[in-house]
Each structure stands twice: as C-alpha cells, then as structure tokens.
Amino acid sequence: NQMKFKGKRAWVTGASSGIGQATAKALAAEGAELVLSARRAERLESLAEELRQQGADVHVESVDVSNRSAMEALGERLASMGGVDILINNAGTMPISPIINGRVDEWDQMIDVNIKGVLYAIHAVYSGMAERKRGHIVNVSSIAARTTYPSAGVYAGTKHAVRAISETLRKEAIRFGVRVTDIQPGSVDTELPDSIGHDKIRGIVKSNMYGDEASMLRPEDIANAVIYALEQPQHVDVGELLIWPTRQE
Ligand code: NDP
C-alpha cells in the first residue's frame, strides 16, 4: 500500500475551516485515521462525511481548545482509543488591533486560544506519545512568530510563544522519540481575518489579503508543508518551516 499514513491516527484542531480543513483532507488522502476538532460541529460533520465517502475513518469532537477541562476529557477519550500518532495543533484566532485601543477581551481570547489551547492539546497527547516512544506534534505558528507589525502585537506575542514552546518541546521530546515541527505560514486565504473585531483593521487586512489573490497562499499549500514534515523518516525532524507567498514582503 502506497498511502503514507495508513495505520496512523491524526488529531487536527481547527479542522472546521482553512488550513486545518485542508490538512485533514491531505491526511485522509494518505490513509490516516482522523480526529477532527473545532467548535462548529456542523462544519466538522460535513467534512467528516466527505472524508468517510472517500474511505477514511473519521471521529468528530466539538470542543473549544481554550476549555481546559473539556480538553482534558478529550485527552482521556483519545487515550482510551489508543492515543494519537500525529497532532496538528492548528486552531487559532487573530483579532488584531492597536494596543492603544485596549481591546482586552480580544487579548485574552488570543492568549487563551493560541497559547493555552496549544498547550492543552499538547498535554492531551504528549504523555501517551512519550510512553509509546513515537509521535509527531505539528504546531502552526506564523511568520508572526518571527516578526511583528503594528496592530499585531498580542497576536505576534502568542505566535512567538508557540514557536518557543515548539523549540523547547522538540529538545525535551528527543528522548521519547517524539518529533516536533513548527509551521510558519505567511498570508493564507482563509476565514482568519473574520476574527478581527476592529472594523477598520479588518477592512484593511481583508482588502490587502483579498485585493491580490496571487500574493496569497492557499490552505493546501500549508497542508503540503505539513505532509512534507510528517513523511520524513523517523531520524529526520523538520524543526520549522517558514512558507511565504512569493509576492509577500
Ligand atoms: P480559519 O479561521 O480558517 O481557521 C481557524 C480554525 O481554528 C477554525 O477551524 C476554528 O474553528 C478554529 N478555532 C478558532 N477558535 C477556536 C477555539 N476557541 N476552539 C477551537 N477551535 C477554534 O484560519 P486559518 O486556517 O488561517 O488558521 C489556522 C491557523 O493558522 C491559526 O493558528 C492561524 O493563526 C495560523 N496562521 C494563519 C495564517 C493566515 O494567513 N491565514 C498565517 C499564519 C498562521 P471553530 O470556529 O469552528 O471553532
């Protein structure tokens, strides 16, 4: 059988749209069994149905990654299924705005989803991977893990944190045979700008992003990068991948 991930179980967070959805499709096409999570259950169900019709084994979990007890309960359910081989730690939100505007609820939201949510998902699977001495954790950070822009302060702070967590986890996980990859996309054409609550900033981001589609990546481009990292032999760990649209500065 030529399929790359036959017999592997992969959990994709934020699978209801964008990069997570594209990655779920790519994994299913390569034979992986899937656990799909996000808040919007209907979206997950329709994706699951599509993938099942193509022969995939798909399990759906409607859960908010920032809900610690719900994530712990999901971790226990996954452990009782035998754990997961691959975590695509992708759920994220980007309600950016200038710090002067003091949109504190949105700061909390980004910290809760983009940092705490990433940690809760790692916590849900990592000890099982360590026991089985195998596993691959792929965290989706951003180019905002390496640089920042006006209005992106808190978002970039969360993504710098994800990158730091990835780098630390990779070093710690070596002795367990667990690999860690940090994926850093540039602009990707997804629903992410819809999470911006600041009307003017949302308008600017959307007109920049959608004004010139050729200057943006598609979710499938990031799914390809994830597959590349996952398909390497066990002795190779792709630590990080920075993927720009060719025309993005
Ligand atoms: P989308 O908005 O299309 O997807 C975001 C996903 O995260 C959705 O499935 C959403 O599902 C899920 N999500 C958001 N909040 C929560 C929550 N509280 N609990 C559970 N799931 C949640 O955006 P992208 O596909 O672009 O984003 C995916 C990742 O890629 C994010 O981490 C983002 O920061 C990162 N990224 C994106 C870039 C881009 O240009 N698009 C660039 C660099 C990084 P639901 O709403 O159903 O819960």
Q: Model's pTM, two decimal places?
A: 0.98
d(CA 246, CA 226): 18
Cα 80 to ligand 1 centroid, rounded to whole Å? 27
Cα–Cα–Cα angle for 180, 76, 90, rounded to 5 degrees: 35
Q: Could you tell me which residues are beta bridge partners of residue 140?
A: 183
Select the more confidently predicted residue: 144 or 246.
144
What does the block give as tokens for 80? 């009782």
Task: Report the percent of the chain where pLDDT is more than 70.
Answer: 97
Residue 2 lies in a domain: no
The residue-averaged pLDDT of 213-223 equals: 90
Answer whether 108 contacts ligand 1 (Cβ < 6 A).
no
Residue 194 lies in a domain: yes
| Per-residue pLDDT at 213 | 64
| Per-residue pLDDT at 215 | 81
d(CA 11, CA 4): 16
Catalytic residues: 155
ipTM of the complex: 0.99
Answer whether 49 contacts ligand 1 (Cβ < 6 A).
no
| Per-residue pLDDT at 1 | 57
Cα 18 to ligand 1 centroid, rounded to whole Å? 7
pLDDT tens profile 59-74: 999 999 999 999 999 9
Closest atom, ligand 1, to C-alpha of 193:
2
Contacts of residue 113, Cβ cutoff 8 Å, sequence gap at least 6: 65, 66, 91, 92, 93
Residue 3 lies in a domain: no
pLDDT-derived band at 247 (thresholds 50, 70, 90) equals confident
Would the pLDDT of 231 be above 90?
A: yes
Q: Number of structural domains, the chain?
A: 1
Residue 247 lies in a domain: no
Residue 246 lies in a domain: no
Answer whether 89 contacts ligand 1 (Cβ < 6 A).
no
Residue 17 lies in a domain: yes
| Per-residue pLDDT at 212 | 65
Name the H helices within the chain.
18-29, 41-53, 68-80, 104-110, 117-132, 153-173, 199-210, 219-231
Q: Which of 31, 14, 6 is nearest to 219 (CA)?
A: 14
Residue 72 belongs to domain spanning: 9-241
pLDDT tens profile 148-204: 999 999 999 999 999 999 999 999 999 999 999 999 999 999 999 999 999 999 999
d(CA 239, CA 120): 21
| Per-residue pLDDT at 45 | 98
Residue 23 lies in a domain: yes
Q: What is the CATH number of the domain that holds 162?
A: 3.40.50.720
Residue 67 lies in a domain: yes
